[in-house]
Copies of this chain bind each other. A is one copy, B any other.
Amino acid sequence: MTERAAVKAALKTQAVETPSWAYGNSGTRFKVFAQQGVPRDPREKLDDAAKVHELTGVAPTVALHIPWDTVDDYAALARHAEDRGLRLGAINSNTFQDDDYRLGSVCHPDASVRRKAVDHLLECVDIMDATGSKDLKLWFADGTNYPGQDDIRARQDRLAEALAEVYERLGDDQRMLLEYKLFEPAFYTTDVPDWGTAYAHCLRLGPKARVVVDTGHHAPGTNIEFIVATLLREGKLGGFDFNSRFYADDDLMVGAADPFQLFRIMYEVVRGGGMSGDVAFMLDQCHNVESKIPAIVRSVMNVQEATAKALSVDRDALRAAQRDGDVLGANSVLMDAFSTDVRPLLREVREEMGLDPDPMAAYARSGWAEKIVAERVGGEQAGWGA
Q: Which residues on A are within 8 Å of B, measured CB to CB?
A: 26-34, 96-97, 99, 101-103, 109-110, 141, 145-153, 156-157, 182-185, 187-190, 193-197, 199-200, 203, 218-223, 225-227, 229-230, 232-234, 245-248, 250, 252-253, 256-261, 264, 268, 271-272, 288-291, 294-295, 298, 305, 318-319, 321-323, 325, 327-328, 330-335, 338-341, 343, 360, 385-386
Residues of B within 8 A of A338 (CB): 259
In angstroms, Cα B28 to Cα A188, docked, is 14
In angstroms, Cα B226 to Cα A190, docked, is 9
Which residue of chain B lies nearest to A196 when distances are taken between CB atoms in the complex? B196
B318 adjacent to A332 (CB under 8 Å): no
Which residue of chain B lies nearest to A33 when distances are taken between CB atoms in the complex? B102
B200 adjacent to A28 (CB under 8 Å): no
A317 CB, min distance to chain B CBs, angstroms:
10
Given contacts A29-B27, A330-B149, contact A187 B250 (CB under 8 A): yes
Which residue of chain B lies nearest to A244 when distances are taken between CB atoms in the complex? B187
Residues of B within 8 A of A194 (CB): 194-196, 222
Q: Residue among A26, A187, A248, A334 with the most chain B CB within 10 A?
A: A187
Q: Residue among A147, A153, A234 with the most chain B CB within 10 A?
A: A147
B325 adjacent to A141 (CB under 8 Å): no
A223 CB, min distance to chain B CBs, angstroms:
6
B152 adjacent to A328 (CB under 8 Å): no
A163 CB, min distance to chain B CBs, angstroms:
14
Q: Out of B200, B294, B334, B341, name the residue touching A147 (CB < 8 Å).
A: B334
A23 CB, min distance to chain B CBs, angstroms:
15
B29 adjacent to A272 (CB under 8 Å): no
A151 adjacent to B221 (CB under 8 Å): no
Q: Out of B298, B343, B386, name the residue touching A29 (CB < 8 Å).
A: B386
Given contacts A29-B385, A386-B31, contact A258 B256 (CB under 8 A): no
Residues of B within 8 A of A27 (CB): 29, 185, 386
Residues of B within 8 A of A290 (CB): 145-146, 327-328, 331
Residues of B within 8 A of A259 (CB): 260, 338
B272 adjacent to A153 (CB under 8 Å): yes
In angstroms, Cα B152 to Cα A316, docked, is 16
